[in-house]
A and B are shown apart, each in its own frame.
Chain A
Protein backbone atom coordinates (compact mmCIF):
# COMPACT_ATOMS: atom_id res chain seq x y z
CA UNK A 1 0.00 0.00 0.00
CA UNK A 2 1.15 3.55 -0.72
CA UNK A 3 2.20 5.64 2.27
CA UNK A 4 -0.14 8.30 3.58
CA UNK A 5 -0.43 10.60 6.56
CA UNK A 6 -3.24 10.28 9.06
CA UNK A 7 -5.23 12.65 11.22
CA UNK A 8 -8.19 12.28 13.52
CA UNK A 9 -10.10 15.51 14.04
CA UNK A 10 -12.56 15.90 16.90
CA UNK A 11 -14.55 18.78 15.33
CA UNK A 12 -16.31 18.72 11.97
CA UNK A 13 -14.79 21.98 10.75
CA UNK A 14 -11.28 20.61 11.33
CA UNK A 15 -12.06 17.66 9.10
CA UNK A 16 -12.66 19.41 5.80
CA UNK A 17 -9.90 21.98 6.42
CA UNK A 18 -7.38 19.26 5.67
CA UNK A 19 -9.12 17.70 2.69
CA UNK A 20 -6.95 18.19 -0.38
CA UNK A 21 -6.01 14.76 -1.86
CA UNK A 22 -7.45 13.20 1.23
CA UNK A 23 -10.04 10.51 1.90
CA UNK A 24 -12.28 10.20 4.90
CA UNK A 25 -12.05 6.97 6.87
CA UNK A 26 -15.08 5.59 8.70
CA UNK A 27 -15.27 1.79 9.19
CA UNK A 28 -12.65 1.31 6.51
CA UNK A 29 -14.29 -1.82 5.09
CA UNK A 30 -14.36 -0.31 1.61
CA UNK A 31 -11.62 2.33 1.73
CA UNK A 32 -8.88 0.08 3.14
CA UNK A 33 -9.78 -2.59 0.60
CA UNK A 34 -9.57 -0.07 -2.27
CA UNK A 35 -6.26 1.32 -0.98
CA UNK A 36 -4.81 -2.20 -0.93
CA UNK A 37 -5.95 -2.65 -4.53
CA UNK A 38 -4.31 0.69 -5.42
CA UNK A 39 -7.66 2.02 -6.63
CA UNK A 40 -7.79 4.70 -3.95
CA UNK A 41 -4.48 6.53 -3.51
CA UNK A 42 -4.95 9.26 -0.90
CA UNK A 43 -1.97 11.22 0.44
CA UNK A 44 -3.82 11.79 3.60
CA UNK A 45 -6.49 9.87 5.49
CA UNK A 46 -8.81 11.76 7.79
CA UNK A 47 -10.32 9.42 10.35
CA UNK A 48 -13.86 10.55 11.15
CA UNK A 49 -14.28 8.27 14.16
CA UNK A 50 -13.81 10.93 16.83
CA UNK A 51 -16.57 13.14 15.43
CA UNK A 52 -19.83 13.28 17.37
CA UNK A 53 -21.89 11.52 14.68
CA UNK A 54 -22.50 8.25 16.47
CA UNK A 55 -26.04 8.51 17.81
CA UNK A 56 -29.49 7.34 16.80
CA UNK A 57 -31.94 10.05 17.88
CA UNK A 58 -35.62 10.75 17.60
CA UNK A 59 -36.27 14.20 16.17
CA UNK A 60 -39.10 16.35 17.61
CA UNK A 61 -41.15 15.93 14.40
CA UNK A 62 -41.17 12.14 14.73
CA UNK A 63 -38.38 11.39 12.29
CA UNK A 64 -35.47 9.16 13.25
CA UNK A 65 -31.93 10.44 12.78
CA UNK A 66 -29.21 7.86 12.12
CA UNK A 67 -25.75 9.28 12.79
CA UNK A 68 -23.25 8.74 9.97
CA UNK A 69 -20.84 6.92 12.28
CA UNK A 70 -23.31 4.47 13.80
CA UNK A 71 -22.33 1.02 12.58
CA UNK A 72 -24.57 -0.96 10.26
CA UNK A 73 -24.82 -3.67 12.95
CA UNK A 74 -25.88 -1.22 15.67
CA UNK A 75 -28.36 0.44 13.32
CA UNK A 76 -30.00 -2.88 12.39
CA UNK A 77 -30.22 -3.88 16.06
CA UNK A 78 -31.44 -0.54 17.42
CA UNK A 79 -34.86 -0.97 19.06
CA UNK A 80 -36.35 2.07 17.29
CA UNK A 81 -35.14 0.73 13.95
CA UNK A 82 -36.38 -2.83 14.46
CA UNK A 83 -39.69 -1.51 15.74
CA UNK A 84 -40.39 1.25 13.19
CA UNK A 85 -38.20 0.44 10.20
CA UNK A 86 -37.90 -3.35 10.02
CA UNK A 87 -37.46 -2.93 6.25
CA UNK A 88 -34.19 -1.11 6.87
CA UNK A 89 -33.01 -3.61 9.48
CA UNK A 90 -33.78 -6.44 7.08
CA UNK A 91 -31.86 -4.85 4.18
CA UNK A 92 -28.84 -4.22 6.39
CA UNK A 93 -28.84 -7.83 7.61
CA UNK A 94 -29.03 -9.04 4.00
CA UNK A 95 -25.69 -7.36 3.29
CA UNK A 96 -22.07 -8.34 3.93
CA UNK A 97 -21.23 -10.40 7.04
CA UNK A 98 -21.53 -9.84 10.80
CA UNK A 99 -17.84 -8.86 11.06
CA UNK A 100 -18.17 -6.30 8.27
CA UNK A 101 -21.44 -4.90 9.61
CA UNK A 102 -19.74 -4.43 13.00
CA UNK A 103 -17.29 -1.98 11.38
CA UNK A 104 -19.21 -0.56 8.41
CA UNK A 105 -20.92 2.74 9.16
CA UNK A 106 -24.06 4.33 7.76
CA UNK A 107 -22.10 7.16 6.12
CA UNK A 108 -19.62 4.70 4.64
CA UNK A 109 -22.39 2.52 3.30
CA UNK A 110 -23.79 5.43 1.27
CA UNK A 111 -20.37 6.27 -0.09
CA UNK A 112 -19.07 2.80 -0.89
CA UNK A 113 -17.83 2.34 -4.44
CA UNK A 114 -19.03 -0.12 -7.07
CA UNK A 115 -17.97 -3.78 -7.05
CA UNK A 116 -17.34 -3.80 -10.83
CA UNK A 117 -14.34 -6.16 -11.24
CA UNK A 118 -12.67 -3.83 -13.74
CA UNK A 119 -12.95 -0.89 -11.36
CA UNK A 120 -10.95 -2.96 -8.85
CA UNK A 121 -8.16 -3.74 -11.33
CA UNK A 122 -5.93 -0.71 -12.02
CA UNK A 123 -4.56 -2.44 -15.14
CA UNK A 124 -7.94 -2.29 -16.87
CA UNK A 125 -9.61 0.65 -18.57
CA UNK A 126 -12.32 2.12 -16.36
CA UNK A 127 -13.92 5.53 -16.64
CA UNK A 128 -15.06 5.50 -13.05
CA UNK A 129 -11.57 4.90 -11.66
CA UNK A 130 -9.48 6.58 -14.36
CA UNK A 131 -11.62 9.10 -16.27
CA UNK A 132 -11.33 8.91 -20.03
CA UNK A 133 -9.74 5.44 -20.25
CA UNK A 134 -12.91 3.69 -21.45
CA UNK A 135 -15.16 1.05 -19.94
CA UNK A 136 -13.90 -2.54 -19.91
CA UNK A 137 -17.25 -3.84 -18.74
CA UNK A 138 -19.10 -2.80 -21.88
CA UNK A 139 -18.88 -5.85 -24.11
CA UNK A 140 -16.75 -7.52 -21.43
CA UNK A 141 -17.67 -9.85 -18.61
CA UNK A 142 -20.64 -8.01 -17.33
CA UNK A 143 -23.01 -10.53 -15.77
CA UNK A 144 -23.19 -8.47 -12.55
CA UNK A 145 -23.50 -5.06 -14.21
CA UNK A 146 -26.48 -2.73 -14.32
CA UNK A 147 -29.36 -2.70 -16.80
CA UNK A 148 -30.94 0.57 -15.65
CA UNK A 149 -29.45 4.06 -15.60
CA UNK A 150 -26.35 3.02 -17.56
CA UNK A 151 -24.47 5.26 -19.97
CA UNK A 152 -21.92 4.85 -22.75
CA UNK A 153 -19.27 5.63 -20.15
CA UNK A 154 -20.23 3.20 -17.34
CA UNK A 155 -22.60 0.31 -16.60
CA UNK A 156 -21.60 -0.46 -12.99
CA UNK A 157 -24.18 -1.10 -10.27
CA UNK A 158 -24.22 0.68 -6.98
CA UNK A 159 -23.84 -2.31 -4.65
CA UNK A 160 -25.43 -1.38 -1.32
CA UNK A 161 -28.40 -3.21 0.21
CA UNK A 162 -29.01 -0.68 2.98
CA UNK A 163 -29.35 2.11 0.42
CA UNK A 164 -32.11 0.25 -1.43
CA UNK A 165 -34.22 0.35 1.74
CA UNK A 166 -33.29 4.01 2.36
CA UNK A 167 -34.44 4.89 -1.15
CA UNK A 168 -37.72 3.03 -0.65
CA UNK A 169 -38.22 4.82 2.67
CA UNK A 170 -37.61 8.23 1.10
CA UNK A 171 -34.95 9.10 3.63
CA UNK A 172 -33.07 12.40 3.70
CA UNK A 173 -29.29 12.81 3.85
CA UNK A 174 -27.76 15.67 5.80
CA UNK A 175 -24.35 16.98 4.78
CA UNK A 176 -21.90 19.45 6.24
CA UNK A 177 -18.93 21.15 4.62
CA UNK A 178 -17.02 24.39 4.37
CA UNK A 179 -20.05 25.88 2.58
CA UNK A 180 -22.39 25.02 5.42
CA UNK A 181 -25.03 22.40 6.01
CA UNK A 182 -27.60 21.08 3.58
CA UNK A 183 -29.96 18.18 3.25
CA UNK A 184 -30.98 16.28 0.14
CA UNK A 185 -33.58 13.66 -0.62
CA UNK A 186 -31.95 10.25 -0.48
CA UNK A 187 -33.27 9.46 -3.95
CA UNK A 188 -31.25 12.42 -5.29
CA UNK A 189 -28.05 11.63 -3.39
CA UNK A 190 -26.55 9.14 -5.84
CA UNK A 191 -25.90 10.20 -9.44
CA UNK A 192 -26.43 8.47 -12.74
CA UNK A 193 -23.04 7.89 -14.39
CA UNK A 194 -23.77 9.95 -17.52
CA UNK A 195 -20.47 11.19 -18.90
CA UNK A 196 -18.98 11.66 -15.42
CA UNK A 197 -19.09 8.18 -13.91
CA UNK A 198 -16.33 8.98 -11.42
CA UNK A 199 -18.83 11.15 -9.55
CA UNK A 200 -20.96 8.58 -7.69
CA UNK A 201 -23.01 11.11 -5.76
CA UNK A 202 -23.58 14.80 -5.16
CA UNK A 203 -21.06 15.13 -2.31
CA UNK A 204 -18.74 18.12 -2.82
CA UNK A 205 -15.01 17.75 -2.11
CA UNK A 206 -14.56 17.71 1.66
CA UNK A 207 -18.24 17.45 2.42
CA UNK A 208 -19.25 14.96 5.12
CA UNK A 209 -22.43 12.97 5.48
CA UNK A 210 -23.53 13.74 9.03
CA UNK A 211 -26.78 11.78 9.27
CA UNK A 212 -29.54 9.96 7.48
CA UNK A 213 -33.04 10.93 8.56
CA UNK A 214 -35.98 8.55 8.23
CA UNK A 215 -39.50 9.96 7.80
CA UNK A 216 -42.23 8.92 10.24
CA UNK A 217 -43.77 6.03 8.30
CA UNK A 218 -45.29 2.71 9.12
CA UNK A 219 -46.01 -0.31 6.95
CA UNK A 220 -47.01 -2.67 9.75
CA UNK A 221 -46.14 -6.14 8.42
CA UNK A 222 -46.49 -4.99 4.78
CA UNK A 223 -42.83 -4.76 3.81
CA UNK A 224 -40.07 -6.98 2.54
CA UNK A 225 -36.47 -6.95 1.42
CA UNK A 226 -35.92 -9.72 -1.08
CA UNK A 227 -32.36 -10.26 -2.28
CA UNK A 228 -31.33 -12.77 -4.93
CA UNK A 229 -27.61 -13.50 -5.22
CA UNK A 230 -25.15 -16.16 -6.36
CA UNK A 231 -25.00 -17.85 -2.98
CA UNK A 232 -27.43 -17.75 -0.07
CA UNK A 233 -25.42 -15.41 2.12
CA UNK A 234 -22.46 -13.01 2.00
CA UNK A 235 -22.72 -12.03 -1.65
CA UNK A 236 -23.81 -8.87 -3.44
CA UNK A 237 -27.26 -8.69 -4.96
CA UNK A 238 -27.95 -9.80 -8.51
CA UNK A 239 -31.45 -8.39 -8.04
CA UNK A 240 -32.93 -7.04 -4.84
CA UNK A 241 -36.20 -5.33 -4.06
CA UNK A 242 -37.27 -3.23 -1.06
CA UNK A 243 -41.01 -2.74 -0.71
CA UNK A 244 -43.16 -1.03 1.90
CA UNK A 245 -46.91 -0.76 1.44
CA UNK A 246 -49.24 1.39 3.48
CA UNK A 247 -52.46 -0.62 3.38
CA UNK A 248 -55.95 -0.08 4.65
CA UNK A 249 -57.95 -3.29 4.79
CA UNK A 250 -57.24 -4.64 1.30
CA UNK A 251 -56.32 -1.44 -0.47
CA UNK A 252 -52.82 -0.12 -1.08
CA UNK A 253 -52.80 3.53 0.01
CA UNK A 254 -49.19 4.28 -0.74
CA UNK A 255 -46.34 2.20 -2.15
CA UNK A 256 -42.62 2.54 -1.59
CA UNK A 257 -40.38 0.51 -3.90
CA UNK A 258 -36.69 0.51 -4.74
CA UNK A 259 -34.51 -1.94 -6.66
CA UNK A 260 -30.91 -2.99 -6.01
CA UNK A 261 -28.45 -4.93 -8.14
CA UNK A 262 -29.92 -3.72 -11.42
CA UNK A 263 -29.35 0.04 -11.40
CA UNK A 264 -26.37 2.37 -11.42
CA UNK A 265 -27.99 3.82 -8.29
CA UNK A 266 -30.78 2.57 -5.99
CA UNK A 267 -33.59 2.44 -8.52
CA UNK A 268 -36.94 4.14 -7.93
CA UNK A 269 -39.73 4.92 -10.38
CA UNK A 270 -42.45 7.14 -8.86
CA UNK A 271 -44.91 6.21 -11.66
CA UNK A 272 -44.58 2.55 -10.71
CA UNK A 273 -45.33 3.38 -7.07
CA UNK A 274 -48.33 5.47 -8.17
CA UNK A 275 -49.68 2.53 -10.21
CA UNK A 276 -50.34 0.63 -7.00
CA UNK A 277 -52.12 3.36 -5.10
CA UNK A 278 -55.81 2.86 -4.45
CA UNK A 279 -55.67 -0.71 -5.83
CA UNK A 280 -56.13 -4.11 -4.33
CA UNK A 281 -53.16 -6.45 -4.73
CA UNK A 282 -53.21 -8.81 -7.71
CA UNK A 283 -50.60 -10.55 -9.80
CA UNK A 284 -51.53 -8.64 -12.94
CA UNK A 285 -51.17 -5.36 -11.06
CA UNK A 286 -47.76 -6.50 -9.81
CA UNK A 287 -46.77 -7.52 -13.36
CA UNK A 288 -47.61 -4.03 -14.62
CA UNK A 289 -45.67 -2.50 -11.75
CA UNK A 290 -42.61 -4.61 -12.57
CA UNK A 291 -42.84 -3.63 -16.21
CA UNK A 292 -43.04 0.03 -15.29
CA UNK A 293 -40.06 -0.27 -12.91
CA UNK A 294 -37.91 -1.91 -15.58
CA UNK A 295 -38.89 0.35 -18.44
CA UNK A 296 -35.87 1.45 -20.47
CA UNK A 297 -33.65 -1.39 -19.27
CA UNK A 298 -30.66 -2.07 -21.53
CA UNK A 299 -28.72 -5.32 -21.33
CA UNK A 300 -25.19 -6.00 -22.52
CA UNK A 301 -23.20 -9.16 -23.30
CA UNK A 302 -23.80 -11.29 -20.17
CA UNK A 303 -26.46 -9.63 -18.05
CA UNK A 304 -29.70 -10.29 -19.95
CA UNK A 305 -30.63 -12.78 -17.22
CA UNK A 306 -31.20 -9.86 -14.87
CA UNK A 307 -33.99 -8.66 -17.08
CA UNK A 308 -35.69 -12.07 -16.90
CA UNK A 309 -35.08 -12.43 -13.17
CA UNK A 310 -36.02 -8.92 -12.05
CA UNK A 311 -39.78 -9.02 -12.86
CA UNK A 312 -40.11 -12.29 -10.93
CA UNK A 313 -38.29 -10.89 -7.91
CA UNK A 314 -40.34 -7.70 -8.01
CA UNK A 315 -43.65 -9.59 -8.24
CA UNK A 316 -42.63 -11.94 -5.45
CA UNK A 317 -41.55 -9.06 -3.23
CA UNK A 318 -44.81 -7.20 -3.85
CA UNK A 319 -46.76 -10.35 -2.95
CA UNK A 320 -44.74 -10.83 0.22
CA UNK A 321 -45.38 -7.23 1.24
CA UNK A 322 -49.07 -7.35 0.41
CA UNK A 323 -49.48 -10.63 2.30
CA UNK A 324 -47.58 -9.27 5.30
CA UNK A 325 -45.02 -12.09 5.08
CA UNK A 326 -41.68 -10.27 4.92
CA UNK A 327 -38.65 -12.25 3.77
CA UNK A 328 -36.59 -13.61 6.65
CA UNK A 329 -32.86 -12.96 6.24
CA UNK A 330 -32.13 -16.12 8.23
CA UNK A 331 -34.52 -18.68 6.78
CA UNK A 332 -33.88 -18.44 3.08
CA UNK A 333 -36.85 -20.20 1.56
CA UNK A 334 -38.95 -17.68 -0.33
CA UNK A 335 -42.64 -17.65 0.43
Chain B
Protein backbone atom coordinates (compact mmCIF):
# COMPACT_ATOMS: atom_id res chain seq x y z
CA UNK B 1 0.00 0.00 0.00
CA UNK B 2 1.24 3.43 -0.94
CA UNK B 3 2.34 5.86 1.77
CA UNK B 4 -0.67 7.95 2.81
CA UNK B 5 1.27 11.16 3.35
CA UNK B 6 2.68 11.25 -0.16
CA UNK B 7 1.76 14.33 -2.08
CA UNK B 8 0.88 13.95 -5.72
CA UNK B 9 1.86 16.15 -8.63
CA UNK B 10 -0.81 18.63 -9.60
CA UNK B 11 -0.56 20.47 -12.90
CA UNK B 12 -3.19 23.00 -13.84
CA UNK B 13 -3.65 26.12 -15.86
CA UNK B 14 -5.56 28.57 -13.71
CA UNK B 15 -6.80 31.78 -15.34
CA UNK B 16 -4.14 31.38 -18.02
CA UNK B 17 -1.24 30.85 -15.62
CA UNK B 18 0.39 27.52 -15.14
CA UNK B 19 0.31 26.01 -11.66
CA UNK B 20 2.55 23.10 -10.72
CA UNK B 21 2.91 21.74 -7.20
CA UNK B 22 2.80 18.57 -5.17
CA UNK B 23 -0.45 18.37 -3.23
CA UNK B 24 -2.01 15.94 -0.77
CA UNK B 25 -4.72 14.21 -2.81
CA UNK B 26 -7.45 15.29 -0.36
CA UNK B 27 -7.14 18.96 -1.36
CA UNK B 28 -10.20 20.00 -3.33
CA UNK B 29 -9.97 22.40 -6.23
CA UNK B 30 -11.96 24.89 -4.14
CA UNK B 31 -9.50 24.71 -1.23
CA UNK B 32 -6.55 24.93 -3.59
CA UNK B 33 -7.95 28.13 -5.09
CA UNK B 34 -8.92 29.76 -1.82
CA UNK B 35 -6.37 28.54 0.71
CA UNK B 36 -3.23 28.12 -1.36
CA UNK B 37 -3.59 30.54 -4.26
CA UNK B 38 -5.51 33.33 -2.56
CA UNK B 39 -8.16 33.24 -5.27
CA UNK B 40 -10.92 33.88 -2.77
CA UNK B 41 -13.45 35.06 -5.33
CA UNK B 42 -14.70 31.49 -5.59
CA UNK B 43 -16.85 30.96 -2.50
CA UNK B 44 -17.43 28.05 -0.17
CA UNK B 45 -21.10 27.85 0.71
CA UNK B 46 -21.99 24.29 1.62
CA UNK B 47 -18.84 22.35 0.63
CA UNK B 48 -21.18 19.49 -0.44
CA UNK B 49 -22.25 20.28 -3.98
CA UNK B 50 -25.60 21.73 -2.95
CA UNK B 51 -25.31 25.51 -3.38
CA UNK B 52 -23.18 26.34 -6.43
CA UNK B 53 -21.17 29.13 -4.73
CA UNK B 54 -17.96 27.31 -5.72
CA UNK B 55 -18.79 27.05 -9.44
CA UNK B 56 -15.79 27.42 -11.78
CA UNK B 57 -15.11 26.40 -15.36
CA UNK B 58 -12.92 23.34 -15.92
CA UNK B 59 -12.02 22.87 -19.57
CA UNK B 60 -14.89 25.17 -20.43
CA UNK B 61 -17.52 23.30 -18.42
CA UNK B 62 -19.14 24.55 -15.24
CA UNK B 63 -18.50 22.33 -12.24
CA UNK B 64 -18.64 22.50 -8.45
CA UNK B 65 -15.04 22.88 -7.30
CA UNK B 66 -15.83 21.63 -3.78
CA UNK B 67 -16.37 18.08 -5.06
CA UNK B 68 -13.19 17.74 -7.14
CA UNK B 69 -9.79 16.63 -5.87
CA UNK B 70 -7.28 19.00 -7.48
CA UNK B 71 -4.91 16.15 -8.38
CA UNK B 72 -7.70 14.37 -10.28
CA UNK B 73 -7.92 16.85 -13.18
CA UNK B 74 -4.38 16.80 -14.64
CA UNK B 75 -3.60 19.57 -17.14
CA UNK B 76 -7.10 21.03 -16.89
CA UNK B 77 -7.75 24.67 -17.73
CA UNK B 78 -9.54 26.31 -14.82
CA UNK B 79 -11.26 29.66 -15.02
CA UNK B 80 -12.46 31.43 -11.89
CA UNK B 81 -14.25 34.73 -11.39
CA UNK B 82 -10.81 36.42 -11.16
CA UNK B 83 -10.07 35.25 -14.70
CA UNK B 84 -13.00 37.05 -16.33
CA UNK B 85 -12.27 40.74 -16.31
CA UNK B 86 -10.36 43.42 -14.50
CA UNK B 87 -11.29 46.63 -12.77
CA UNK B 88 -12.66 48.98 -15.37
CA UNK B 89 -12.92 46.09 -17.87
CA UNK B 90 -15.63 43.89 -16.50
CA UNK B 91 -16.92 40.84 -18.33
CA UNK B 92 -20.35 41.64 -19.82
CA UNK B 93 -21.95 39.20 -17.37
CA UNK B 94 -20.34 40.96 -14.41
CA UNK B 95 -21.56 44.33 -15.72
CA UNK B 96 -25.05 42.93 -16.28
CA UNK B 97 -25.23 41.70 -12.67
CA UNK B 98 -24.47 45.27 -11.55
CA UNK B 99 -26.90 46.83 -14.02
CA UNK B 100 -29.73 44.49 -13.06
CA UNK B 101 -29.27 44.49 -9.30
CA UNK B 102 -28.66 40.77 -9.44
CA UNK B 103 -27.29 40.39 -5.92
CA UNK B 104 -27.67 41.59 -2.38
CA UNK B 105 -24.96 40.18 -0.10
CA UNK B 106 -22.98 38.98 -3.12
CA UNK B 107 -21.87 35.68 -1.65
CA UNK B 108 -23.46 33.51 -4.35
CA UNK B 109 -22.56 35.97 -7.12
CA UNK B 110 -19.21 34.63 -8.38
CA UNK B 111 -20.77 31.17 -8.70
CA UNK B 112 -23.87 32.60 -10.37
CA UNK B 113 -21.75 34.51 -12.90
CA UNK B 114 -19.56 31.51 -13.76
CA UNK B 115 -22.64 29.36 -14.13
CA UNK B 116 -24.40 31.98 -16.26
CA UNK B 117 -21.43 32.24 -18.62
CA UNK B 118 -21.44 28.47 -19.12
CA UNK B 119 -25.22 28.52 -19.55
CA UNK B 120 -24.88 30.87 -22.51
CA UNK B 121 -22.28 28.56 -24.06
CA UNK B 122 -24.63 25.59 -23.57
CA UNK B 123 -27.46 27.54 -25.14
CA UNK B 124 -30.21 26.68 -22.65
CA UNK B 125 -31.61 30.16 -22.88
CA UNK B 126 -34.77 29.94 -24.97
CA UNK B 127 -37.03 31.32 -22.23
CA UNK B 128 -37.01 32.56 -18.64
CA UNK B 129 -38.21 29.13 -17.53
CA UNK B 130 -35.35 27.44 -19.31
CA UNK B 131 -32.81 29.85 -17.81
CA UNK B 132 -34.32 29.27 -14.38
CA UNK B 133 -34.16 25.48 -14.75
CA UNK B 134 -30.56 25.48 -15.98
CA UNK B 135 -29.48 27.90 -13.22
CA UNK B 136 -31.07 25.77 -10.50
CA UNK B 137 -27.68 24.51 -9.30
CA UNK B 138 -26.94 27.99 -7.93
CA UNK B 139 -28.84 28.96 -4.82
CA UNK B 140 -29.19 32.55 -3.61
CA UNK B 141 -30.11 33.02 0.05
CA UNK B 142 -30.95 36.66 -0.67
CA UNK B 143 -33.46 35.65 -3.30
CA UNK B 144 -32.02 37.76 -6.11
CA UNK B 145 -33.26 35.25 -8.66
CA UNK B 146 -35.32 37.65 -10.79
CA UNK B 147 -32.39 40.06 -11.08
CA UNK B 148 -30.09 37.18 -11.99
CA UNK B 149 -32.34 36.13 -14.85
CA UNK B 150 -32.70 39.77 -15.94
CA UNK B 151 -28.90 40.03 -16.05
CA UNK B 152 -28.57 36.87 -18.12
CA UNK B 153 -31.25 38.11 -20.52
CA UNK B 154 -29.44 41.43 -20.82
CA UNK B 155 -26.27 39.67 -21.97
CA UNK B 156 -28.22 37.50 -24.41
CA UNK B 157 -29.85 40.63 -25.87
CA UNK B 158 -26.44 42.33 -26.19
CA UNK B 159 -24.99 39.29 -27.94
CA UNK B 160 -27.90 39.19 -30.36
CA UNK B 161 -27.51 42.90 -31.05
CA UNK B 162 -23.77 42.48 -31.65
CA UNK B 163 -24.48 39.61 -34.01
CA UNK B 164 -27.03 41.52 -36.08
CA UNK B 165 -24.62 44.48 -36.01
CA UNK B 166 -21.90 42.29 -37.51
CA UNK B 167 -24.27 40.93 -40.13
CA UNK B 168 -25.35 44.42 -41.21
Chain A positions within 8 Å of B, measured between CB atoms, are 1-8, 20-21, 25, 27-29, 32-33, 35-37, 43-45, 47, 49, 73, 96-100, 102-103, 232-234, 329-332
The complex places the Cα of A44 from the Cα of B2 at a distance, in Å, of 8
**Residue of B whose beta carbon sits closest to that of A47:** B72
Greatest chain A CB density within 10 A among B24, B67, B122, B134 is at B67
Q: Are A99 and B2 in contact (CB under 8 A)?
A: no
A100-B64 contact in complex given A33-B48, A43-B4, A44-B1, C-beta closer than 8 Å: yes
Report B60-89 CB contacts with A as 1/0, cut-off 8 Å: 011110111101100000000000000000
Q: Are B48 and A6 in contact (CB under 8 A)?
A: no
Q: Are A102 and B49 in contact (CB under 8 A)?
A: no
Give, as a whole number of angstroms, the nearest-CB distance from A58 to chain B.
Answer: 25
The complex places the Cα of A32 from the Cα of B136 at a distance, in Å, of 21
In the assembled complex, which residues on chain B have CB atoms less than 8 Å from the CB atom of A73? 61
In the assembled complex, which residues on chain A have CB atoms less than 8 Å from the CB atom of B118? 98
Tell me if B45 counts as interface (CB < 8 A to partner A).
Answer: no
Tell me if B28 counts as interface (CB < 8 A to partner A).
Answer: yes
Tell me if B157 counts as interface (CB < 8 A to partner A).
Answer: no
Give, as a whole number of angstroms, the nearest-CB distance from A100 to chain B.
Answer: 6
Tell me if B147 counts as interface (CB < 8 A to partner A).
Answer: no
In the assembled complex, which residues on chain A have CB atoms less than 8 Å from the CB atom of B61? 73, 102
The complex places the Cα of A293 from the Cα of B124 at a distance, in Å, of 36
Q: Are A33 and B2 in contact (CB under 8 A)?
A: no
The complex places the Cα of A208 from the Cα of B72 at a distance, in Å, of 18
Q: How many residues of B contact A (CB 8 A)?
A: 40
Give, as a whole number of angstroms, the nearest-CB distance from B31 to chain A.
Answer: 10
Q: Are B68 and A100 in contact (CB under 8 A)?
A: no
Q: Are A330 and B72 in contact (CB under 8 A)?
A: no
**Residue of B whose beta carbon sits closest to that of A101:** B137
Q: Are A234 and B55 in contact (CB under 8 A)?
A: no
The complex places the Cα of A36 from the Cα of B48 at a distance, in Å, of 8
Tell me if B5 counts as interface (CB < 8 A to partner A).
Answer: yes
Q: Are A103 and B64 in contact (CB under 8 A)?
A: yes
Q: Are B68 and A4 in contact (CB under 8 A)?
A: no
Contact of B24 among A3, A21, A98, A103 (CB under 8 A): A3
A4-B4 contact in complex given A32-B67, A98-B119, C-beta closer than 8 Å: yes
Q: Are A102 and B25 in contact (CB under 8 A)?
A: no
Contact of A103 among B67, B127, B138 (CB under 8 A): B67
Give, as a whole number of angstroms, the nearest-CB distance from A226 to chain B.
Answer: 16
The complex places the Cα of A100 from the Cα of B127 at a distance, in Å, of 22
The complex places the Cα of A330 from the Cα of B55 at a distance, in Å, of 22
Tell me if B142 counts as interface (CB < 8 A to partner A).
Answer: no
The complex places the Cα of A227 from the Cα of B28 at a distance, in Å, of 32
Contact of B115 among A1, A99, A232, A330 (CB under 8 A): A99
A98-B67 contact in complex given A3-B26, A5-B1, A28-B72, C-beta closer than 8 Å: no
Give, as a whole number of angstroms, the nearest-CB distance from A93 to chain B.
Answer: 9
Give, as a whole number of angstroms, the nearest-CB distance from A180 to chain B.
Answer: 25
The complex places the Cα of A103 from the Cα of B28 at a distance, in Å, of 14
The complex places the Cα of A332 from the Cα of B132 at a distance, in Å, of 11
Q: Are B25 and A36 in contact (CB under 8 A)?
A: no
Greatest chain B CB density within 10 A among A3, A32, A33, A99 is at A99
In the assembled complex, which residues on chain B have CB atoms less than 8 Å from the CB atom of A32? 28, 66-69
A25-B69 contact in complex given A4-B4, A44-B1, A98-B118, C-beta closer than 8 Å: yes
A98-B137 contact in complex given A20-B1, A43-B4, C-beta closer than 8 Å: yes
Pairs A–B under 8 Å by Cβ, sample size 18:
A1-B26, A3-B24, A6-B2, A6-B72, A7-B2, A28-B72, A32-B28, A35-B26, A36-B48, A45-B25, A97-B52, A97-B136, A98-B118, A102-B61, A103-B68, A232-B136, A233-B132, A330-B133
The complex places the Cα of A67 from the Cα of B130 at a distance, in Å, of 29
In the assembled complex, which residues on chain A have CB atoms less than 8 Å from the CB atom of B150? none
In the assembled complex, which residues on chain A have CB atoms less than 8 Å from the CB atom of B47? 36
Give, as a whole number of angstroms, the nearest-CB distance from A111 to chain B.
Answer: 16
